[in-house]
Each structure stands twice: as structure tokens, then as C-alpha cells.
């Protein structure tokens, strides 16, 4: 999805001899998430990336589904997910379907003694609290509050955090996470009407080649199982790479809201998409400027989609009792809209400071046991107040 980029040393032609100072060959690897028919990158390793030395017993990390079918407005207190020292242990899937998983995480420590690879899904990690560096074979991506980290499936990575206070909203997508097609020219450039451009996309930097032999554990997630696999050489032994498939960062604070004389529909906030879902960013913006405009959103029916909203910061004039990290889920099939009194209260307001991430899925989401543990049971009746 990002444009062509390269770091480090690469040969003049692909698939040709590229030798180390001692005369031996570097090991070329093609990395693509859709075979040989889409974006790819070529990486050049000091050692073959295939040297497995040991395989430990796999274990299940599949979410435990509590409700497969439901038709009820729901709310979950995301910050009630308990922090955990380890990054992988801290990840709790709360809403899932066959297209994606919505995960909350509150890791307290950096990944130090292992690496991680999601072999099933692209990952979009939204950083609600915390800062640090994403380390990959492609280089480093510093991150902080408000950043989306988009990591293609199959990418080996480590996260290092600056401190123990971290809150992450993670979307795992079983299809590539990409920019909306309507934003792109036929050649893939973000066009003038898009709410962000290539200058806002942060690419990996500071490529460090770590040529080390030893015992390097990579935990690989595949089909709901975690496979601990040991390799003979450090996975970040890349001396150079080029291509169009790599992790990148985009800050929600760089999203430029589209406004109008009357209330604009959610698609103007779209940021990413995958098969059967979209991701939107609700950012601080001026309200509608028609003299009779109503800034509060109108009631609407989600006939074809489940609407999930993750509240980040600011005031939300359409909702009562909003807290940071709160998730609302409005399933397809029944209408929803502003809470009582919100419409009249919004009239005359000039701007909003709200910050939120929305995920609309076109197939129903299932509720996990982890979600039930943090649910606000009274939310469904909140329109009757």
C-alpha cells in the first residue's frame, strides 16, 4: 500500500548475485502478503531466514466466544482490561468475526526475549497511551500517542516501550489493510481530495543489521495457535531491502477532517479499509455552518454493518457518560443515534474536540468472554434516560 521505499545496501538488479565482503552470497527473500500478484519487498539477509533449530509445543490463543448471535446495543470499558507485563499475554480479543478481530492490550514491558509474527492477519495497532519503537527487519518506527502502526502479516517484530503505561487498540485483519480506493489515483497516489497524503505516512528508518548466531525465538500466530519456533540467527540480519510492502505509521492527528454546511456522513472520516470492514478517524473539527444545521448525528440504521466506536479523548456531544477507552457496539438491524437531549444541546456549537476510532464491519461481530467481563450492562437502556 505505501509507495516504493528502500533502505541499506541492495544489488543493482533483483535476483542476481549480491556478495558479502568475504565473497559469500547474501540471502535474498521475497516478502508479499498475496503471493506473487500484489505488493512485495525484497530483503537481503546475512543468513538464510529458514534455519530452524527447534520447535516448541504450540498452544491455543483463540478467543473464547461467549455470544455468537446477538441484537443489542453494547458498551465495554476498555481500560478495565487488566495490564499485563508481557505484550502477547496482554492482548485480549473482545469482538471477532471471520474478517477481523478487535483486540485490547495494556502491556507493561517491552518484548525482549522473543520476536512475534502474525502469520494470519495484518495488524493495525492504534496507540492510545504510551510511546516507544517498533523494531522490524525493515528498520525502526518510533511511535507515540495517536499513531496507527500498520504491520503486514508475516512481519517479524518487537515492540519496545518507554514506560509501563501503555494502552493499545488493535485490529487484526485477515485481508490486507489498505487506503480507501476512492482516495487513490489509477497509479496508487493519494489524490487531492484525500484527507491525508504521502507526506503523512512515516516509513521505517534506521536500519540496523544484527548479524548474530544463537537461539532466537519467534512466536508465530497461525489459525488461533501460537507456534514457538527457534532460529539459528537473529531475524534482523537484513543489510538492505526495497519494495512496497512494509510496516508504516500514520498519526490520527495528521488526519484532515472533511466538513460541510450540514452534517457529513461517516465515510468522510474513512482512513483504512479491508475486506468487509472500514476504519474511520473522528478528529477535532469545526461543525456544520448552515444557519439551521444540527451538529449532532442523526438517527441511522445499520442494516448492513455493525458499528464499533472506540473513544480516545475529548467531549462527545452525542453520547452520555463517555470514558476514555470505552467501546460502543451498535449491531446491524436496529437504529441508533444521539442520546436524549443531545440534539438540542448540540445546536449552536461551533466545534468538537472529540477523538475516536470507528470500525464498521459488514458481517456481525461476536462477543468474547473477555468482552463480557468489561461490559456496561446498562448501556442498552441509555436512550430511555
- Where residue 97 falls among pLDDT bands split at 50, 70, 90? very high
Whether residues 96 and 147 share a domain: the answer is: yes
Q: Which residues contact 50 (CB under 8 A, 6 or more apart)?
A: none
Q: Is residue 297 part of a domain?
A: yes
336 is in an annotated binding site: yes
Q: What is the pLDDT of residues 214-267, one digit of tens each?
A: 999 999 999 999 999 999 999 999 999 999 999 999 999 999 999 989 988 888
Domain's final residue, options 221, 250, 279: 250
Domain's final residue, options 219, 250, 281: 250
Whether residues 272 and 356 share a domain: the answer is: yes
Q: Is residue 235 part of a domain?
A: yes
Whether residues 296 and 217 share a domain: the answer is: no
> Residue 337: is its pLDDT beyond 90?
no
Give the pTM: 0.96
Distance CA 177, CA 153 (A): 10
Q: Is residue 330 part of a domain?
A: yes
Could you give the residue ranges of the DSSP H alpha helices within the chain?
Answer: 87-90, 342-346, 369-372
Q: Is residue 20 part of a domain?
A: no
- Where residue 272 falls among pLDDT bands split at 50, 70, 90? very high
| pLDDT for res 2 | 63
What CA–CA distances, in Å, run from 237 to 27, 28, 50, 151, 219?
Answer: 10, 12, 13, 19, 18
Whether residues 178 and 287 share a domain: the answer is: no
| pLDDT for res 231 | 98
Q: Is residue 73 part of a domain?
A: no
- Indicate which CATH number applies to the domain containing 271: 2.60.120.10
C-alpha cell at 278: 472500514
Whether residues 90 and 205 share a domain: the answer is: yes
Whether residues 198 and 237 share a domain: the answer is: yes
C-alpha cell at 305: 454493518
Whether residues 261 and 230 share a domain: the answer is: no
Q: Is residue 202 part of a domain?
A: yes
Whether residues 212 and 350 share a domain: the answer is: no
Whether residues 261 and 316 share a domain: the answer is: yes
Distance CA 103, CA 74 (A): 16
Q: Is residue 74 part of a domain?
A: no
Mean pLDDT, residues 294-303 taken together: 83
Mean pLDDT, residues 141-159 taken together: 98
Whether residues 236 and 304 share a domain: the answer is: no
Average pLDDT, whole number, for the chain?
A: 94
Total structural domains within the chain: 2
Considering the chain, what percentage of its residues have pLDDT values greater than 70?
Answer: 98
120 is in an annotated binding site: no
Find where cell 452534517 sits. Answer: 263
Q: Is residue 177 part of a domain?
A: yes
Domain's final residue, options 250, 278, 311: 250
Among all residues, which ones are annotated catalytic?
263
300 is in an annotated binding site: yes
Domain residues for 264? 253-384
CB of 172 within 8 A of CB of 103? yes
CA dihedral 129, 217, 245, 362 (to 10 degrees): -60
- Where residue 345 falls among pLDDT bands split at 50, 70, 90? confident
- Strand-strand pairing, 156-161 and 115-118: antiparallel
Amino acid at each position: 500500500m505505501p509507495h516504493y521505499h528502500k533502505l541499506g545496501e541492495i544489488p543493482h538488479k533483483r535476483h542476481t548475485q549480491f556478495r558479502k565482503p568475504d565473497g559469500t552470497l547474501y540471502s535474498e527473500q521475497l516478502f508479499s502478503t498475496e503471493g506473487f500478484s500484489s505488493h512485495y519487498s525484497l530483503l537481503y539477509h546475512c543468513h538464510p531466514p529458514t534455519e530452524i533449530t527447534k520447535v516448541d509445543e504450540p498452544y491455543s490463543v483463540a478467543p473464547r466466544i461467549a455470544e455468537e448471535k446477538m441484537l443489542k446495543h453494547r458498551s465495554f470499558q476498555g481500560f478495565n482490561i487488566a495490564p499485563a507485563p508481557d505484550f502477547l499475554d496482554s492482548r485480549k480479543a473482545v469482538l471477532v468475526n471471520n474478517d477481523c478481530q478487535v483486540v485490547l492490550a495494556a502491556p507493561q514491558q517491552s518484548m525482549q526475549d522473543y520476536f512475534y509474527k502474525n502469520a494470519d492477519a495484518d495488524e493495525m495497532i492504534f496507540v492510545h497511551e504510551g510511546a516507544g519503537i517498533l523494531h522490524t527487519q525493515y528498520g525502526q518506527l518510533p511511535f507515540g500517542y495517536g499513531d496507527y502502526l500498520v504491520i503486514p502479516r508475516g512481519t517479524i517484530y518487537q515492540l519496545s516501550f518507554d514506560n509501563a503505561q501503555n494502552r493499545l487498540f488493535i485490529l487484526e485483519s485477515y485481508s490486507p489493510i489498505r487506503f480507501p480506493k476512492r482516495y487513490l489515483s489509477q497509479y496508487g497516489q493519494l489524490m487531492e481530495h484525500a484527507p491525508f497524503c504521502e507526506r503523512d505516512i512515516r516509513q521505517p528508518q534506521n536500519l540496523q543489521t544484527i548479524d548474530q548466531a544463537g537461539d532466537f525465538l519467534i512466536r508465530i500466530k497461525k489459525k488461533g495457535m501460537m507456534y514457538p519456533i527457534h532460529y539459528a540467527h537473529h531475524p534482523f540480519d537484513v543489510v538492505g531491502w526495497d519494495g512496497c510492502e512494509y510496516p508504516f505509521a500514520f498519526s490520527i492527528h495528521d488526519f484532515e477532517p472533511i466538513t460541510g454546511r450540514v452534517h457529513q456522513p461517516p465515510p468522510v472520516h474513512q482512513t483504512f479499509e479491508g475486506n468487509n470492514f472500514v476504519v474511520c478517524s473522528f478528529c477535532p473539527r469545526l461543525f456544520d455552518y448552515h444557519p439551521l444545521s444540527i451538529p449532532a448525528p442523526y438517527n441511522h440504521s445499520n442494516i448492513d454493518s455493525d458499528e464499533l466506536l472506540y473513544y480516545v479523548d475529548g467531549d462527545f456531544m452525542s453520547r452520555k457518560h463517555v470514558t476514555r477507552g470505552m467501546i460502543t457496539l451498535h449491531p446491524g438491524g436496529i437504529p441508533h443515534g444521539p442520546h436524549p437531549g443531545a440534539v438540542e444541546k448540540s445546536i449552536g456549537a461551533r466545534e468538537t474536540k472529540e477523538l475516536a476510532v470507528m470500525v464498521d464491519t459488514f458481517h456481525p461481530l461476536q462477543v468474547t468472554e473477555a468482552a463480557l467481563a468489561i461490559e456496561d450492562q446498562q448501556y442498552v437502556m441509555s436512550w430511555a434516560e
